[in-house]
Amino acid sequence: MKIKNGVAMWLILGFFIVLTVSVFLAYSISEYFKETVLQRATFAYSNTVKNHATSYALNENNFNSKNISSNQQLFTNFENAIDSPEIVTVKMWSTDHIVVYSDDTGIVGKSFYNNNKLNAALSGQQVSGISYVGDSDNVAEQGNGELMEIYIPLKTNSGQVYGVVEVYLAMDLINVYIDNTNWMIFIITAFSAAIFGVIIFLTFIAFRRNVINPIIDIHEQTKKIKEGNFDIKSQSKGYNELKILGREVESMAFKIKDQQNKLIKTERVYAIGELAARLAHDLRNPLSVIRNSLEIIRHKYETKPEVASSFDRIDRSVFRMTHQIDNVMDFVNTKSLRLEATSLKKILLATVGELDFTDEIKVNLPKNDIMAMCDFNAIEVVFENLLLNAKQSIKGPGVINVRLIEEDNFVKIEIEDTGKGIPDDVLPKIFDPLFTTKQEGTGLGLPSCKNIVEQHGGIIEVKTEVGKGTTFTVKLPITKFETHPVTSDQIETKVPKVTRGNKISQS
């Protein structure tokens, strides 16, 4: 509202300025025109007087105050020659301030020394000005309005003034001409001002629609964001830049809302993680006791078939619990990486040897090897989670293919299974902490993998097709080493424990 009021105030001020400037401009043009008309009239009549003075051969003897009576007829003829409808009266002055001729015979022969205009004319200047008959003591005619009084000095060839001709012009026709012209000037100026005002008004309307209103809308949207309401919809109109700004504000609100939800979720996960870490730490020792005790009991009673299956169930349960605890600890405890040139094939063989694959699942490991700068234990956790997920995805007979592919400065580790695939509604959530579709899962396996891979400066991707299988792709930076085939016999440390029934081949 303040914006609208402010713009309206500036609009009114703009109209006032335009009106003031228009009136001032019209007045200035009018005065200039009037002055120009008077100057032209003065110039025209003075030239007429000077030309006739030359044609009548007027000289200093004619203007001698001692020869007044002898020159009256000559001056009468001269007056008739220069007479026009605008001329009211004509007087002739000698250089000693005496009227030598006038149509008012009562002032002929009289002197007027206090006439400043006459004094200026006798000094050689042509003088003109506006006068009124009522104000002049040397003009007999009454009933005329405004007059223009012109004093025209007559000079010899040497430039010496020998007389002055005073002419009074009636301003009636000139004023009518000036007034008509002034009306035209004011009408044109007013019309121009009106057009300019309409242009300003239309510009203001367009400016308000295309600039002010969109800015107000964006301002309202930012107020909503400030108040915590991120469900805004940009309806900004106007110029493209403001439309783009409105959409960006809407996008920003959406991202802020998304980040806020993620922050809340992260804080909740952090709190749960802290609790889970303490619980996992407390459960490690009892599980170790159970596993060690189980080995002792198994060694004592392994000859009895009726209890062997129970031992296997206990062993699998302990393994599952240990794996879940490891997932929790891997996710919660972010350790600094020990990066060193490591054989990825070595990590794969060590990981497969730790997992219990059934006879129905065939694991095809790559024949080639690639060295990468990575943390052995951390990448082993990644491979373990991905291979375990592949194993659990396969129901019945199936195949897991592992491939190592060098690509520029990265190595791609592809783990492909022939399992059931991931449904479309589940796929976007698989890397979210605590999300799982398994009853025995923690929902921290894949998030841990993502964290570890990103710590290495890599990325993890997934492709899936329901009913056909899933492929996880891990991309890690590598150090340029010569790639070469590696077999299990070449692994010096962490030789995999091949569980009975495993089918592992190097494709």
Per-residue pLDDT reduced to its tens digit, 325-364: 766 666 666 667 888 888 999 999 988 888 877 778 899 9
Tell me the C-alpha distance between 313 and 309, whole Å.
6
- 452: tokens are 């570890």
User: Average of pLDDT values for 142-146?
Assistant: 54
Q: Is the pLDDT of residue 498 over 60?
A: no
Contact criterion met (CB below 8 Å) for 92 and 84 = no
Highest mean pLDDT of the ranges 20-24, 88-92, 316-320, 485-489: 88-92
Assigned CATH topology for domain 337-506: Heat Shock Protein 90 (3.30.565)
Smallest Cα–Cα separation from 204: which of 2, 1, 3? 3
- 1: tokens are 């509202």
- Give the pLDDT of residue 499: 37
Tell me the C-alpha distance between 346 and 370, whole Å.
10
Sign of CA dihedral 12, 15, 20, 23: negative
* Residue 490 banded pLDDT, cuts 50, 70, 90: very low
Tell me the C-alpha distance between 298 and 173, whole Å.
138
Q: What is the DSSP string of 320-380?
A: HHHHHHHHHHHHH--PPP--EEEEHHHHHHHHHHHS---TTEEEEE-SEE-EEEE-HHHHH
Tell me the C-alpha distance between 112 and 119, whole Å.
10
- 25: tokens are 């401009």
- Give the pLDDT of residue 299: 73
- Give the pLDDT of residue 481: 45
Question: Quick one: angle between helices 376-393 and 344-354, nearest 10?
Answer: 50
CA 356 from centre of chain: 61
CA 76 from centre of chain: 85
Per-residue pLDDT reduced to its tens digit, 219-240: 777 777 777 776 767 666 666 6
| Sequence spans of domains, the chain | 2-178, 230-333, 337-506
Domain 2-178 homologous superfamily, CATH: PAS domain (3.30.450.20)
User: Average of pLDDT values for 427-455?
Assistant: 79
pTM above 0.85, yes or no: no
